């Protein structure tokens, strides 16, 4: 994967898309789309683009919530894995991941070569698992439970696993990059730093030109 000429970047919303494009400054190697919020929208829109032409890499980029003590507001996160943290079944003994049910996988590893390049380009970034959730965490109890269940998790968002699943279906390498706008836990919109996280996405977008 030395020479990458066609890279698909999937964000959730237009604000994220515009922030990333600002950093890319029109670099023709990158196609950026706003795939919509949630796993299903991200998977379907990513698959639609991959069905049009060949891409060398899929990047899911956007803002997200950071786990306290691991990825604070303003941090940039590089995913090692995209994990569908609520994909499975509830039992009397607690949550059971889909692997234990024999129905598939709840995680996709990010491409190791891309991960290494991103780490070199963004040396201050936090590296760890990014959880994909259909319901964003809104309580300290859920935040603590997720942190205990997924000790390598540094961030939560809503799209990464979907984009990763589409990339896997088309045998295209995948990676995920997030900037942190808020802590995982009780929702306090007044304390969120969305504009600052968008600035972080622009800075990350600029780094991509150097990475590839």
Q: Please state, as a whole number, how many other Cβ atoms lie within 10 Å of the Cβ of residue 49.
A: 18
pLDDT score recorded for residue 101: 86
Q: Is 19 a residue whose pLDDT tops 70?
A: yes
Q: Is 94 a residue whose pLDDT tops 90?
A: no
Residues 67, 187, 45, 22: is their CA dihedral positive or negative? negative
pLDDT score recorded for residue 88: 87
Over residues 6-30, the mean pLDDT reads 97
pLDDT score recorded for residue 46: 98
Q: Which two tokens stand for residue 191?
A: 């304390």
pLDDT score recorded for residue 113: 95
Q: Is 101 or 81 the better-scoring residue by pLDDT?
A: 81
Give me the chain's average pLDDT, please.
Answer: 94
Q: Is 61 or 187 the better-scoring residue by pLDDT?
A: 61
pLDDT score recorded for residue 100: 80
Going along the chain from its start, the domains and CATH numbers come out as: 7-211 (3.40.50.1580)
Report the share of the chain in percent with pLDDT over 90: 85
Q: Is 56 a residue whose pLDDT tops 90?
A: yes
Q: Is 63 a residue whose pLDDT tops 90?
A: yes
- Contact between 39 and 132 under an 8 Å Cβ cutoff? The reply is yes
Half-sphere exposure of 174 (CA within 13 A, CB side): 30
Residues ≥6 apart with Cβ < 8 Å to 204: 20, 23, 61, 76, 122, 177, 179
Over residues 6-23, the mean pLDDT reads 97
pLDDT score recorded for residue 2: 55
Start-end of H helices in 68-182: 98-101, 112-121, 140-149, 160-169
Over residues 154-176, the mean pLDDT reads 97
pLDDT score recorded for residue 176: 98
pLDDT score recorded for residue 3: 66
Over residues 187-204, the mean pLDDT reads 92
Over residues 105-125, the mean pLDDT reads 94
Over residues 11-40, the mean pLDDT reads 97
pLDDT score recorded for residue 69: 95
């Amino acid at each position: 994967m030395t020479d990458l000429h066609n890279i698909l970047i999937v964000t959730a919303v237009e604000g994220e898309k515009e922030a990333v494009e600002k950093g890319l400054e029109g670099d023709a190697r990158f196609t950026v789309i706003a795939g919509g919020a949630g796993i299903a929208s991200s998977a379907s829109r990513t698959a639609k683009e991959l069905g049009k032409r060949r891409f060398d890499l899929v990047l899911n980029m956007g803002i997200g919530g950071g786990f306290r003590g691991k990825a604070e507001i303003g941090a940039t996160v590089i995913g090692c894995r995209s994990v569908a943290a609520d994909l499975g079944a509830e039992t009397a003994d607690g949550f059971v991941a889909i692997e234990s049910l024999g129905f598939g996988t709840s995680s996709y590893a990010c491409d190791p070569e891309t991960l290494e390049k991103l780490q070199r380009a963004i040396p201050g970034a936090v590296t760890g698992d990014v959880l994909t959730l259909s319901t964003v965490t809104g309580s300290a109890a859920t935040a603590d439970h997720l942190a205990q269940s997924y000790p390598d998790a540094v961030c939560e968002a809503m799209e990464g696993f979907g984009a990763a699943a589409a990339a896997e279906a088309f045998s295209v390498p995948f990676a995920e990059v997030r900037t942190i706008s808020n802590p995982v836990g009780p929702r306090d919109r007044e304390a969120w730093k969305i504009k600052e996280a968008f600035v972080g996405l622009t800075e990350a977008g600029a780094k991509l030109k150097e990475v590839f």
